[in-house]
Structure 1
Amino acid sequence: MIFDQAYESEYVGPPVDAGMIRRAEDVLKVRLPKSYIDLIIVQNGGVLRNRCFPTEFATSWAPDHVCVDVIWGIGGTSGVDVMSPSMIAEWKYPEIGVVFGLTPSAGHDTVMLDYSECGPLGEPSVSYVDEDRVPRRIANSFAEFLRGLTSCRTYGDDTD
């Protein structure tokens, strides 16, 4: 399981149905990736078990990885359909897609589904956006991002 079941979390949204997915996509003006939908059907967001993702560049978090604490689901008070538009506006993220995760910095940096190359109906890549607000691709798809998550202990971090 990708989510850490040890945490009771306000980040777990209500059970997902087709109507919720359609409404979230209407709000976000994109088609969400199948791998994301498959994940939130099992559990609608939550705290990640493995929180670190390797990068080929330095981030504000570390020289070789980024930490993502939470993946937001849809609906509820902390779904991507609620959080992404407000995070983009508040933190001045580039309008490339959907903020889907919460990092330890709680806004200074983030991870986004990046539709800039594929358009709103395509399969987005995943980009890391640091304090400079320049998107940097870290995975070619959300599925690849999920597969690449690893324990932060790999990097000597004690965040998990």
Structure 2
Amino acid sequence: MIEPFAGEDMFTGPAVDDALISKAEERLGYRLPSSYLDILRRMNGGLLRRRLCPTSFPTSWADDHFEVRSLLGIGGDHGIDSSGGRGSRDLISEWGYPDIGIVLFDMPSGGHDAVMLDYRDCGSGDEPAVVYIDEDRVPRRVARDFGEFLGLLGGQE
């Protein structure tokens, strides 16, 4: 089993329960993947222990990978469903990311790139793919779902 968190940080939200999940999904307009919710029930966002994701394409930051810093949770000031400039919808608007889903991570670049859940090809019951958005704002698929994405993460910073 993956142990994703290095410790609490400002991106750690309140304890997750069914009511918080329902509220977040209603605000976002998307059903959250079960693999993401499983992680949030253990710790609702925070610094990741493993942060490097290998790629088959170069990024603005490296030839063969990108780095994520903190997983964003739900609820709280820094949740993906929050308003006031810090939620996923706010980040999509502020940084010009494609409106294809949900921004899931705080990135070392401070917004120049992003990792998102991509709901464009989701059918009923399907989980969204995970895509990397670089400075060119083109979504590049890196995993078929969130669980696979967590399995790709390696390295320590």
State the TM-score, normalized to the length of structure 2. 0.93
Q: CA RMSD in A?
A: 1.2
1:48/1:120 CA distance change after superposition, 3 Å? farther
Equivalent residue, structure 2, for 1:15: 15
Instruction: Extract unaligned runs of 5+ from structure 1.
Output: 153-159
Stretches (4+) displaced over 2 A: 119-122
Q: 1: distance between equivalents of 2:112 and 2:135? A: 6
Aligned pairs for 1:59-74 within 5 A: 59-74=59-74
Counterpart residue type for residue 60 of structure 1: S
1:104/1:120 CA distance change after superposition, 3 Å? farther
From 108, 113, 137, the counterpart of 1:133: 137
Equivalent residue, structure 1, for 2:114: 110
From 72, 82, 90, the counterpart of 2:94: 90
Equivalent residue, structure 1, for 2:50: 50
Equivalent residue, structure 2, for 1:156: none
| Contact preservation (8 Å) 1:30, 1:121 | no
Q: 1: distance between equivalents of 2:56 and 2:118? A: 18
Counterpart residue type for residue 76 of structure 2: G
State, as a whole percentage, how many aligned pairs show the same letter: 51
Counterpart residue type for residue 72 of structure 1: L
Specify which structure has the higher proportion of helix: 1
Counterpart residue type for residue 26 of structure 1: E
Counterpart residue type for residue 35 of structure 2: S
Q: 2: distance between equivalents of 1:25 and 1:19? A: 10
Counterpart residue type for residue 93 of structure 2: A
Q: 2: distance between equivalents of 1:57 and 1:65? A: 8
Q: 2: distance between equivalents of 1:120 and 1:13? A: 29
Counterpart residue type for residue 153 of structure 2: L
| Contact preservation (8 Å) 1:29, 1:120 | no
Aligned residues: 151
